[in-house]
Amino acid sequence: MHLSFRFRSWMFSTGVAALLCGISPAVAETSLDFIAAQGPTLDRIVNDALAHPRAYERLVTLCDRHGHRLSGSPGLEAALDWAVHTMKEEGHVNVGREEVEVPQWIRGVESATVLTPRRTPLAMLGLGNSVGTAPGGVEAEVVTVSSKEELKSLGKTVHGKIVLFNNPMPKWTTENGPCYGETVQFRVHGPSMAAEQGAVAVLVRSVTARSLRTPHTGTLFYQEGTTRLPAAAISTEDADFIARRQAAGETVRVHLAMEAHWGTPVKSANVVAELRGRELPHEIVIVSGHMDSWDVGQGAHDDGSGVVMAMETLAALKRLGIRPRRTIRVVLWTNEENGMAGAKQYLKTHASELPNHVAAIEADLGGFAPSAFGVKSADEGVQSRAVVELETLLHHINRHAIGASGDLFIKPGSSAPDVYRFANEGVPALGLYTHDEHYFDYHHTEADTVDKVDPQELARSTAALTALTWLIAEMPTRLGSGEGSASH
C-alpha cells in the first residue's frame, strides 16, 4: 500500500531553498563542504551498486524461494528467516527477529458471477480484511456508481443491492503521476459507504489503468459502527461489462461467494540488522522495506524490491568497508499490507530509543528507477531544514545521473507507509519515489512477479537509497537539526 501524492517538481537550488525556509545559507554550505570531501566514497558506493545486479539476484532468491508473503502465512515467516540467515552470514551485527503479533486474514475460496443478463464468471479478488459472505454466497442486483455523491443521491434504493464502485484510474502522466490516492478511496472506504445505505455487498473496479483481465486486491477499512460488507475487486474489463449492460437498460444480478475470514493472530517479526556507527553509534538511521505482501503473485515490486534494496544498502557498505558516523539499522517490516502491526510494534519496543532516531527511510514504490525522495516530519522546522540538507545531499548524488528522467529531487511532506509514524514523532521520515508509470499495472496482483523488475533500474534505485542513507548517517550535523556543525 502506498498513498501517492501529486507529482510536483521541487527544483530549488540549495541557496534559494535555504533562504525560503529561513535558514542560514551557512548551514547548507557547511553540508556542502562536508559532502565535497565525501566524493570518492560516494563514487565507490554508486559505482558498486551499478556494476553488478546484486539487488536483483537477491530479489530473485526471495521471490522464487518464498513466493507471496501475507501476514500469517508460512511464506512470510520463511522469508523473514531467510533474511535473518542471510544478514548473519554477511557478518552484520544485532541481526534478528523482533516479535510482532500480526493478524491472520484468510482468503479461502471465492467467486463472483454475473447471473443476468448472461451468466459470466468475473475475474475477481476479495479485498484484504473483508468479511466473507454467508455460506452459499449473496445474490443481488448491482447498482453502479462513480462517486460518493452519486451513491448518496440513490438513497434507500441501494438497500439490498450490491454496489459496484466503477471509478477508472486515470492513465499515468508525468504531470499527475499514477493518481492512486484519488482512485483507491473507493476500495478503502467504499464498503462502509455502501453499508450506510443498506447494501449487502460491494464490488470495486480494480485500481489500475492497464489490465489484461487482472483483478487487484488491497485492503479495505471498515468504519466503526457500520455493517461489515463482503467486498471484492473485479477487473476493469468486468466493471466495464456490467456498466455497459446497465447503460443498455439491462438489470445485472451478481452472485458473490467469499470464504474470507480472520484466523487467530500469530507471531511474526520485524527483522533488524545493523552497521554500527563509528562515532555516534547510538544515533540511528533506519533503511527499510516491508517483507509481507498480498497473497498473490510474488510481491516483487511490492515490496520485495524495498526489502532487497535495504538489505543491499547494509551489504554494500560492509563489502566496501565504509563505516558511517551513525548506526544504520535495516528494518524489514512485517504486516504493512493489512494492519501495520510491524511499524506500530517497533515504535513501542523502541520507544525509549526513539529520540536517537535521526531518520527513518523506506522504499515502497517498486523496483523501478529512482525519481525522488519524500521527506516528512510533524515538526515543521525539522522538515524545512531537512529539505534543504537533503537537497544538498542529492545535488551530489545527482552527479551520477541515476534518476529515471533527470535529477532526483525532494518532495516535502510525503514519506512511506511504515515510516510515516516516525514523522508524527518528529523524526524525519523519508520515502523513495520511483519512476512508477507501470507500478499500478502489477500492484497487488498475480502479475507482481520478479520478471517485471529490471535489474538495472533496481540497481539505480539501490544506488540512490544506499548513497542517501550513508550520507545521512555520515553528515556531521543531525538531519533537520540545523545545528550547522558536527553534533559531536
Residues with a known catalytic role: 336
Q: What is the residue whose three cell numbers read 434504493?
A: 157
Our finding on whether 120 is near its own copies (CB under 8 A) is: yes
Minimum Å distance from CB 247 to its own copies?
Answer: 10
E strand or H helix at 204, and its extent? strand 201-205
Start-to-end CA span in the chain (Å): 38
Our finding on whether 65 is near its own copies (CB under 8 A) is: yes
Q: Per-residue x/- marks for its own copies, 277-316, CB under 8 A? A: --------------------x-------------------
Tell me the pairing of strands 280-290 and 326-333: parallel
Closer residue to its own copies, CB minimum distance, 31 or 246: 246
Query: Rounded distance, CA 480 to CA 483, Å?
Result: 8
Query: Rounded distance, CA 127 to CA 299, Å?
Result: 16
Among 8, 16, 51, 64, which residue interacts with its own copies (rule: CB under 8 A)? Answer: 64
Among 139, 141, 182, 237, which residue interacts with its own copies (rule: CB under 8 A)? Answer: 237
In the structure grid, which three cell numbers stand for residue 214, read together?
487482472
Instruction: Give the largest CA-CA distance in the chain.
Output: 74
Among 108, 117, 263, 355, which residue interacts with its own copies (rule: CB under 8 A)? Answer: 117
Our finding on whether 366 is near its own copies (CB under 8 A) is: no
Between the alpha carbon of residue 76 and those of residues 70, 270, 336, the distances in Å are 6, 11, 12
Q: Is 99 helix (H, G, I), strand (E, B) or coil?
A: strand
Q: Which stretch binds its own copies (CB under 8 A): 152-160, 234-242, 416-424, 456-464?
A: 234-242
Our finding on whether 333 is near its own copies (CB under 8 A) is: no
Closer residue to its own copies, CB minimum distance, 297 or 370: 297
Our finding on whether 118 is near its own copies (CB under 8 A) is: yes
Our finding on whether 441 is near its own copies (CB under 8 A) is: yes
Tell me the number of residues near its own copies by CB under 8 A: 30
Among 189, 197, 241, 347, which residue interacts with its own copies (rule: CB under 8 A)? Answer: 241
Beta bridge partners of 373: 410, 432
Among 98, 196, 240, 379, which residue interacts with its own copies (rule: CB under 8 A)? Answer: 240
What angle do helix axes 74-89 and 54-66 make, rounded to 10 degrees?
A: 140
Which residues make Cβ contacts (< 8 Å) with residue 81, sequence separation at least 6? Answer: none
Closer residue to its own copies, CB minimum distance, 5 or 241: 241
Query: Rounded distance, CA 310 to CA 360, Å?
Result: 12
Identity of the amino acid at 223: Q
Residues 244-263 that bind its own copies (CB under 8 A): 244-245, 248
Minimum Å distance from CB 243 to its own copies?
Answer: 10
Which residues make Cβ contacts (< 8 Å) with residue 185, sequence separation at least 6? Answer: none
Task: Enumerate binding residues for its own copies (CB under 8 A).
Answer: 60, 64-67, 117-118, 120, 123, 210-214, 236-237, 240-241, 244-245, 248, 297, 441-442, 445-447, 449-451
